[in-house]
Amino acid sequence: MKNIFILTVIIFLSYSTFQRTNACSCIPQEPPNIEYGNHDAVFIGKVTEISFVSWYGYPFHLVSFEVEKKWKGVYSNEVQVFTAANDAACGYDFLIDTVYLVYATISDDTLRTNICTRTNPVWKADEDLAYLNSLDDSDGLQPFGLQDKFITALAVEQTDYNNSFPVSEYIFAGTEDNGVFKASAVDEFPDWISFGLEGKPITALTVQHWGAGPADGLRLYAGVVPDNENYDSSLIFSREVYLPSDTAWIKSDSGFDSAVNYVNALNSYYFTGHTAPQTVLAGTDYGLYQKGWADNIWTQSEIENQSLQPSIYSIDINSHWWGELVWAVGRFGLSAVAFRSTNQGTVWELFSLNDYQSAPATSVAINTRNPDSIYITQGLYIYLTPDNGETWEPIFSIRSGGFSRIAVDPLHPENIFAGGWFIDDSHQSPDHGVFFHSTNGGKDWQDVTPAINTLLKDITCIAVLNKPDDNNYVFIGTAGTGIWLYKYSTNTNNDSYFPLAIGNEWHFTSNLFPHSESITDTTRINGMLYYALSTEGIEPYLLFRESENKVFVLDLTDTTEVLLFNFDAEIDESWELPEKYACSYGLEITLVGRSETVATPSGTFYNCYHFRHYGNCADAGITDTWLAKGIGKVRYKAIFFAGEGDFVLTDYIVTSIKYSSEQQTDISFHLLQNYPNPFNPTTNIGFRIAEFGFVSLKVFDVLGREAATLVNEEKQPGVYEVEFDASQLSSGIYFYKLQTENFSETKKMQVVK
């Protein structure tokens, strides 16, 4: 059965090679202006059926469309639209098998809109095309089906940060009283079908991938509310998804304590045909349980130093493939608690959250890049522990209502999603569900609302599905308004292996001494935009640019660039560098690996590119560099001369990373801070020029008197450096000023004698 979407037409336009035609014969001489952007739904569809309806004695038409293209607000391939039938010209002239462009709105008073007396539009190609091209299907939450259902659980096969196994495109939905449904998660118009357990309230879902290749399977587990009235105490059922010969739901709850009334959470580890079957985990109102894939008996897990059993509301795993770490949250009596296991849920350590709120902890999510960082929802707040549960800090809150669910994008864990409900104490708006997205690990949050004019019910569940093309799908289940889809792209600069943005910082530790690197500004040389990277804030800078999956470094002496890293290279492919780089990046660089793992205090990074540097320098030089997607340099090794004939191989590991969210500015002119500073008697002053013209660089004392002229001539665009000799000046503060026709900047320096 196809979903039917009922709309009220505001504007009806015939779509026929951009000609000025219309189903209505009542076309006005001057077509009215279209209020672009004020429509809940925009689509192109072919009329398949026209029927008469009556509302309070007034005649209307119900026009059925087969959707050919949509821009917003349509979630079915069949749409029905009410139109006025009391105007014969517009009510009777819609033609079967004719294609129209439809602007529509959704309203509680859908039948009251009369399209002919309100708008009488005609096709206006330029304006309509501009509007249609501006629409973004991913702008806001889109309805994804089952809109009349109370969704209790969602499940998709999870991608892990440290593997590239393809995942299935199924999505499973549990409902309050209609069992389980299944659909394709990537279909534009999902065709939801019943997947069994009809009539049973679903409490939790999880899928477990087993095997690989031809012997590949997907097993679905569903928690249900026991039907005690009919003497059915079943708590969990399971069934295969792929195998046509094994599609029956099988009771799978042996081993649960008789005190268990509900299964509130399920999660599972995956395995291939070459590894041992892995664990499935269950959180109940009486403790935590686990079972093997081939086992039919659940075993209650041990909680260290505890004899009582908690209520568990959420379980998160890292990683699903070959992982050991798992977190769970819930409550002990009235106390909120979290639990951590490092052996797939066999033994758990308790973390009390009583110091924060009395509300129970309802959801947990692990940062897949940095598994020491855990997010939980509890009442009005989202909390983060950066240190594996030792300390917890609130990072976001809602004024009234609460958070119920949180999820992390496993491939791009800087993206975090949270949902809950909002209660307006001022009673100016109805209570409704809320959904938030953070793109920087929880520092900032954006409220994401439906793309159509409607309010969601409370958010009950969130599931994330990653796609290879960097289009990512977040599915949101609600308590009575069905499933909603949020699409977002991670195809940004943060997907680079050498991310360049002003404000980006990397801090490293080593067996000798720590250091930091940061991108502080940009310059344009020879028509190319370069980013300036400073070590320990010291100038002059190294200038880099990235283009077509390659990184280039600029030689400041002659403004020529050299290929540094090539991410499209084949394994063991090499390229040469000039002699001037012998003691830094080497004379030759070779790609030796593209899927290496680097463990650091800032997290474990997978699928890293590994470049080897071959230098020809007696006392210095980089030997190896590892770069991670979206991160940049996470490790490198370098040789230093330690004196008396000793050389030290230093291993630098990234400890912290900071990314800028600021809009990038092309700083084409720039005056650099002199170095050294303070100085005696000489110092160096660098500056950058964006265009040909007259340039002056002068030194002034504190009274504004000119003390020296360093540059006073026309110069070509580029990077320059001059030496200033202050041997004739007394100690004190001086200022140096760079002046061009369109730029002026002044900095301070100090002479110390």
Task: Please tell me the distance from the alpha carbon of residue 211 to that of residue 726, in angstroms, as a whole number.
Answer: 75
673 is written with which tokens? 């801070």
Q: State whether residue 192 is helix, strand or coil.
A: coil
- For the stretch 714-749, pLDDT in tens is 988 777 889 999 999 998 889 999 998 878 888 889
How far is the CA of 723 from the CAs of 367, 648, 694, 726, in angstroms?
49, 34, 19, 10
Q: Distance from CA of residue 235 to its chain's centroid?
A: 35
- For the stretch 186-234, pLDDT in tens is 887 788 999 999 999 999 999 998 876 556 788 999 999 998 888 888 9
The pLDDT assigned to 684 comes to 86
- For the stretch 571-605, pLDDT in tens is 999 999 998 888 889 999 999 998 788 888 877 78
Task: Identify the weakest region by mean pLDDT among 27-31, 39-43, 513-517, 703-707.
Answer: 27-31
- Bridge-partner residues for 266, per DSSP? 282
Q: Is the pLDDT of residue 409 over 50?
A: yes
Is CATH 2.60.40 the right assignment for the domain spanning 495-658?
no
Superfamily (CATH H level) for 142-491: YVTN repeat-like/Quinoprotein amine dehydrogenase (2.130.10.10)
What sign does the CA torsion over 702, 706, 707, 713 have?
Answer: positive
Task: Identify the weakest region by mean pLDDT among 3-7, 18-22, 419-423, 547-551.
Answer: 18-22
Length of the chain: 753
Task: Please tell me the distance from the alpha carbon of residue 387 to that of residue 337, in angstroms, as a whole number.
Answer: 16
Better-scored residue on pLDDT, 303 or 307: 303
- For the stretch 660-702, pLDDT in tens is 654 444 456 778 788 788 888 999 888 878 778 899 999 998 7
Mean pLDDT rounded to a whole number for the chain: 79
Contact 202, 153 (CB under 8 A): yes
How far is the CA of 155 from the CAs of 172, 264, 293, 299, in angstroms?
5, 14, 18, 23
Q: What is the DSSP string of 89-140?
A: HHHS---TT-EEEEEEE--TTGGG--HHHHT-----HHHHHHHHHH--TTSS
Fold of 4-134: OB fold (Dihydrolipoamide Acetyltransferase, E2P) (2.40.50)
Contact 317, 309 (CB under 8 A): no
With bands split at pLDDT 50, 70 and 90, how would you rate the model's confidence at 540?
A: low
66 is written with which tokens? 């087969």
User: 64: Cβ–Cβ under 8 A, 6 or more apart, which residues?
Assistant: 47, 48, 49, 50, 51, 78, 79, 80
Superfamily (CATH H level) for 670-751: Macroglobulin (MG2) domain (2.60.40.1930)
Radius of gyration of the chain (CA): 32
What is the residue extent of each domain of the chain?
A: 4-134, 142-491, 495-658, 670-751
Q: How many helices (H) and strands (E) does the chain have?
A: 3, 53
The pLDDT assigned to 37 comes to 43
Better-scored residue on pLDDT, 306 or 213: 306
The conformation of residue 419, written as its DSSP 8-state character, comes to E
- For the stretch 254-266, pLDDT in tens is 999 999 999 999 9
